[in-house]
């Protein structure tokens, strides 16, 4: 049964050290064994930031106050409990936050991403650091792209953190979402960290100021015992409490809260980067999915425009080199809004997204969007989905079916859908065919976009009464876009059959076959003028079999596709409305009276004939 929270109206709790006065300030908190660990602002002005431990039976503890070496205007993102060993006394609380760089750490003002640690059994010092953390340490999180001459592109604005649990609870994988601090270069990145690397940094040299310029250097002196930052327990020393620690340990911990070495991501580079887009990453959750050929981590990344990216990490030659495949880009909210919270439920197989406008729910898998063919399901490379012999459906590792086909690592439909290779259309799906009419010297657009965002589209052209197919070359006359092919200033020689193909992983499938008929401009103008004059015998013969409604639709359609002075649909509609208003003004008054008199009979007649004569709108659909 789900937990139900109720407001205790008769009980009031002091919120100092638990939540900020300003709800806009970023804070993070975690409740462990009845004690609340929170990173927040303690004052009304939002200047005294600290890491607190409140509630419980012990005295509240916080970080050192008014010391920029400890915290320098931080913005807390996340907090997690990660065990250090099999002994619960060694458990540590890790805070993830971003803050201003310490003086001398960076030229000018800069923001750095941090990871901070405190021991769960830290009760402060005896004579120094009373009711203050004695085991607090912090290190910088690096998420950067290596560049030429050793100049890296850094993503320093930490936005969100997600811990992916592994078989060993002491070593979860840390996923972090970062953005750039620059207003000129806008980008986002996802970096992945190992807790082994984090612990190695916290066991490394401390940051120390020395030299004539008082710069930050690694501490070279003697480190007191027990090492500052170590939890008092039987595992790493003979001290039962932080209050028993020697004074030199407390003094050293007070003046050396930062580590000199940063924490680098796995493979020393981000696993995903997005630049030159109109959005930035804000949230991330990860699900580990069992597939036919192994386990894969599927990332759901929220953005500041209300969309969610579904991305899978696929190893290349080795498991250390990862390829990021974008599976879906889903719009969650109707209006663009910042996604501020995301939670995943593997039990319900649902994703919950929160923003200022509300909460939304999405399924983790939508296998039906990948198409109705084995090749399309295989090319999708979605670990949640597999081809079951008749459709692309949810993959269950426990179900054993000989017809089940899935290839996440390679996405090779030629191997897994081999029974479809000998068909004319290897995708196994009925080829979509269209007939489009265009007018000479006008433009037309052939719409064709593959389901997969990784597919490469190319076009072929086949002239009338010719079996040869030619690849279409992009020029000023033919412009290829992500949505299709734009033909400008049509000519009679453009008439023919156009084929839209999609190629991915060496597999080609034909998506669309379009037959384009280009109508002679002079002949069409002659027909339109005769129709307006009302004395053309040819147009009368051609339209005698049409009903009045069909004649109107036909005339409107022909004017729409061939009118050199009407550039937009709005201009065309405005011309039609003007013509209708003019006809109504010219209508006799007595005719209007008679129309109103028999209006109820006409409505009844329309009601009976509406379903029967729906096909009369056919020319508009052309």
- Taking only the tens place, the pLDDT of each residue in 569-615 is 555 566 666 766 776 666 655 455 444 544 444 444 344 333 433 33
Report the pLDDT value the prediction gives residue 564, as an integer from 0 to 100: 46
Q: What does the pLDDT read at residue 175? A: 98
Distance from C-alpha of 228 to C-alpha of 257, rounded to nearest angstrom: 9
Binned at pLDDT 50, 70 and 90, residue 359 comes out as very high
pLDDT confidence bin for 39, thresholds 50/70/90: very high
Phi, psi at 506, each rounded to 5°: 75, 0
Instruction: Report d(CA 208, CA 220) in Å as an integer.
Output: 9
Sign of torsion over alpha carbons 364, 370, 373, 375: negative
pLDDT score recorded for residue 397 = 83
Here the tokens at position 310 are 């579904």
Query: In this structure, what are the phi and psi dihedrals at residue 608, rounded to the nearest 5 degrees?
Result: -75, -30
Confidence band, pLDDT 50/70/90 cuts, at residue 511:
confident
> From CA 341, how far away is CA 283, in angstroms rounded?
7
Q: Which of 86, 357, 122, 148 is nearest to 232 (CA)?
A: 122
Residue range 515-529: average pLDDT? 77
What mean pLDDT comes out for the span 517-530? Answer: 74
Give the pLDDT confidence of 173-216 residue by residue, as tens digits. 999 999 998 878 899 999 999 999 999 999 999 999 887 777 88
User: Between residues 362 and 522, which one has the greater pLDDT?
Assistant: 362
618/622 Cα distance (integer angstroms): 7
Count Cβ atoms below 10 Å from residue 251 Cβ, excluding itself: 15
Backbone phi, psi, residue 594, to 5°: -65, -35
Go through 182-205 and write b for each residue having 16 or more CB atoms within 10 A of its CB, e for each that does not. eeeeebbbbbbbbbeebbebbeee
Residues 515-531, mean pLDDT to the nearest whole number: 76
**pTM summary value:** 0.75
Tell me what pLDDT residue 429 has.
Answer: 57
Q: What is the pLDDT of residue 565?
A: 47
Write out the H or E segment, with its range, that includes residue 504: strand 496-504
pLDDT at 550 over 80: no
Structure tokens at 399: 């179900």
pLDDT at 122: 95
pLDDT above 70 covers what percent of the chain?
Answer: 79
What b/e string do you get for 84-110 counting C-beta neighbours within 10 Å, with b at 16 or more?
Answer: beeeebbbbbbbbbbbbbbeebeeeee
Per-residue model confidence (pLDDT) at position 449: 80
- Other beta carbons within 10 angstroms of residue 550's beta carbon come to 18
Residue 139 class from Cβ within 10 Å (0-12 exposed, 13-18 middle, 19+ buried)? Answer: buried
List the single range of 131-140, 233-242, 458-467 with lowest mean pLDDT: 233-242
With a CB cutoff of 8 Å and minimum separation 6, the contacts of 222 are none
CB 166 within 8 A of CB 233: no
The per-residue pLDDT for range 417-430, each reduced to its tens digit, is 865 544 445 455 56
Distance CA 134, CA 128 (A): 9
> Is the Cβ–Cβ distance between 88 and 151 less than 8 Å?
no
What residues have CB less than 8 Å from 270, skipping those under 6 apart?
A: 143, 144, 145, 155, 178, 189, 190, 191
Please state the φ and ψ torsions of residue 261, each to the nearest 5 degrees.
-85, 140
Longest dimension (CA), the chain: 111
**pLDDT at residue 384 tops 80:** yes
- By DSSP bridging, strand 507-519 and strand 432-439 are parallel
Alpha helices in 43-98 (DSSP H): none
What pLDDT, on the 0 to 100 scale, is given for residue 11? 83
Of residues 174 and 402, more confidence is placed in: 174
Give the DSSP per-residue string, 122-140. ----SSSSTTB-SS-EEEE
Tell me what pLDDT residue 595 has: 47
- d(CA 616, CA 599) in angstroms, rounded, equals 22
Domains of the chain in sequence order: 28-142+210-265 (2.130.10.10), 432-519 (2.60.40.10), 522-621 (no CATH)
Cα angle, residue 170 at apex, residues 205 and 230 outer, rounded to 5°: 40
Minimum mean pLDDT range among 39-43, 110-114, 538-542: 538-542
Assess contact for 63 and 72: CB atoms under 8 A: no
């Amino acid at each position: 049964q789900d937990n139900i929270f109720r407001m205790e109206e008769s009980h009031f709790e002091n919120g100092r050290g638990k939540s900020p006065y300003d709800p806009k300030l970023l804070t993070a908190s975690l409740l462990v064994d009845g004690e609340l660990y929170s990173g927040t602002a303690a004052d009304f002005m939002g200047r005294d930031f600290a890491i607190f431990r409140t509630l419980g039976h012990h005295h509240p503890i916080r970080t050192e106050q008014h010391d920029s070496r400890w915290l320098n205007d931080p913005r807390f993102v996340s907090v997690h409990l990660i065990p250090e060993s099999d002994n619960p006394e060694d458990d540590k609380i890790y805070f993830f936050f971003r803050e201003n760089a310490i003086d001398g750490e960076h030229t000018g003002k800069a923001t750095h991403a941090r990871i901070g640690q405190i021991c769960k059994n830290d009760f402060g010092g005896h004579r120094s650091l009373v009711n203050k953390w004695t085991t607090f340490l912090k290190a910088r999180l690096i998420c950067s792209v290596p560049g030429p001459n050793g100049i890296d592109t850094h993503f320093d604005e930490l936005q969100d953190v997600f811990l992916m649990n592994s078989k060993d609870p002491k070593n979860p994988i840390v996923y972090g979402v970062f953005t750039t601090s620059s207003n000129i270069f806008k980008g986002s990145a996802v970096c992945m960290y190992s807790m082994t690397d984090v612990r190695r940094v916290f066991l490394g040299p401390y940051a120390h100021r020395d030299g004539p310029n008082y710069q930050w250097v690694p501490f070279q002196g003697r480190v007191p015992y027990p090492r500052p930052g170590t939890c008092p327990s039987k595992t790493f020393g003979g001290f039962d409490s932080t209050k028993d620690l020697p004074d030199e340990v407390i003094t050293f911990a007070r003046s050396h809260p930062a580590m000199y070495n940063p924490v680098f991501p796995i493979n020393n580079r981000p696993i995903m980067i997005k630049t030159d887009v109109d959005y930035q990453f804000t949230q991330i959750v990860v699900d580990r999915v069992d597939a036919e050929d192994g386990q894969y981590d599927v990332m759901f990344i929220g953005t500041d425009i209300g969309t969610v990216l579904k991305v899978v990490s696929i190893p290349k030659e080795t498991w250390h080199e990862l390829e990021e495949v974008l599976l879906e880009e889903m719009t969650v909210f109707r209006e663009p809004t910042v996604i501020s919270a995301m939670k995943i439920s593997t039990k319900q197989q649902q994703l919950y997204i929160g923003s200022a406008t509300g909460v939304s729910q999405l399924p983790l898998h939508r296998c039906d969007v990948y198409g109705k063919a084995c090749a399309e399901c295989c090319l999708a490379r979605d670990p949640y989905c597999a081809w079951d012999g008749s459709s692309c459906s949810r993959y269950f590792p426990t179900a054993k079916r000989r017809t089940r086909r899935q290839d996440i690592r390679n996405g090779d439909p030629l191997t897994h859908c081999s029974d479809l290779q000998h068909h004319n259309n290897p995708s196994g799906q009925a080829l979509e065919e269209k007939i489009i009419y265009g007018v000479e010297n006008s433009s037309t657009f052939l719409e064709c976009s593959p389901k997969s965002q990784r597919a490469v589209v190319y076009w072929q052209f086949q002239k009338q009464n010719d079996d040869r197919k030619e690849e279409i070359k992009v020029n000023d006359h033919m412009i290829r876009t992500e949505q299709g092919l734009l033909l400008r200033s049509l000519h009679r020689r453009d008439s023919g059959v156009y084929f839209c193909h999609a190629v991915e992983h060496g597999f080609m499938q034909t998506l669309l076959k379009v037959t384009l008929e280009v109508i002679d401009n002079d002949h069409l103008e002659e027909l339109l003028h005769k129709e307006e004059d009302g004395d053309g015998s040819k147009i009368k013969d051609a339209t005698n079999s049409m009903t009045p409604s069909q004649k109107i639709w036909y005339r409107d359609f022909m004017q729409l596709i061939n009118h050199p002075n009407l550039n937009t649909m709005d201009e065309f509609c405005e011309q039609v409305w003007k013509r209708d208003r003019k006809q109504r003004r010219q209508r006799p008054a007595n005719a209007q009276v008679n129309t109103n008199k028999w209006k109820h009979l006409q409505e009844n007649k329309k009601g009976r004939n509406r379903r029967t004569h729906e096909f009369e709108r056919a020319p508009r659909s052309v």
